[in-house]
Amino acid sequence: MEITWLGHSGIKLKGSKTIYIDPFLTGNPAASTTPDEINEADVVVVTHHHGDHLGDAFTICKKTGATCVCIHEISVDAEAEGITTEGMNIGGTIETKGVKVHMVQALHSAEKGDPAGVVIEMDGKTIYHAGDTGLTYDMKLIGEFFKPDLSFLPIGDRYTMGIPSAAKAVEFIQTKKVIPIHYNTFPVVSADPEEFKKRVGDKAEVIILNPGDSYDL
């Protein structure tokens, strides 16, 4: 599976299917691509209704015919625009196009519905995207129950976990690998990923990417 960080919280997973998570590209100074450059997608996952996560999800779905997987309230809006959607809620699981998505808790806010994290299963790999969240003890359950191979955790502070909390989250989740996200897009979420890597130590492999960089899992 090829994993690409698009900048901010945006992720592209390319395996047997192509998945975009939180594709905030338009208006994102750190974005490595634009919606115009995206011509293929099977599933677009949105963790919550904030502009820097919903982003270009609807545009990409309309252009590619991808299914939008999201919380119920976003799904209603997507359906009204003619988008194929799989609405769900925290604790639920859906399967679409051979991709399994579990919606898990996140501690944050949202303009519509609730914020969430997602656990995605594809091609025998399990990926956890925490969305925007503070540190929560429920992450222990995510680790125990799903045993993610790789996790995406926000480290930018102010609106999400900062580095100390994110490092503790790694311990809770017991993830094998972690990629820090949601940092250095704007000055208010500045963070040093090398400091995060230092704090995590040998608890997990920390993979630091620049926007547009890829990692093969």
Query: pLDDT band at residue 44, thresholds of 50, 70 and 90?
Result: very high
pLDDT at position 132 is 98
> What CATH number is given for 2-206 in this structure?
3.60.15.10
CA distances from 82 to 71, 76, 183 (A): 17, 10, 33
What pLDDT is stored for residue 129 in this prediction?
Answer: 99
pLDDT category at 190 given cuts 50, 70, 90 is very high
Segments making up each domain of the chain, as ranges = 2-206
Question: Which of 166, 135, 165 lies closest to 151 in space, CA to CA?
Answer: 166
Give the integer Cα–Cα distance in Å for 217 and 204.
Answer: 14
Copy the structure tokens of residue 199: 């704090």
Average pLDDT estimate for 181-206: 98
- pLDDT averaged over every residue in the chain: 98
Render pLDDT for 98-129 as a digit per residue (tens, 0 to 9).
999 999 999 999 999 999 999 999 999 999 99
**Whole-Å CA distances, 122 to 16, 125, 159, 193, 200:** 8, 5, 29, 27, 26
pLDDT of res. 202 = 97
Mean pLDDT, residues 171-195 taken together: 98
The Cα–Cα gap between 156 and 190 comes to 6
Per-residue model confidence (pLDDT) at position 197: 98
For residue 8, the model assigns a pLDDT of: 98
What pLDDT is recorded for position 11? 98
Residue 4: the pLDDT is 98
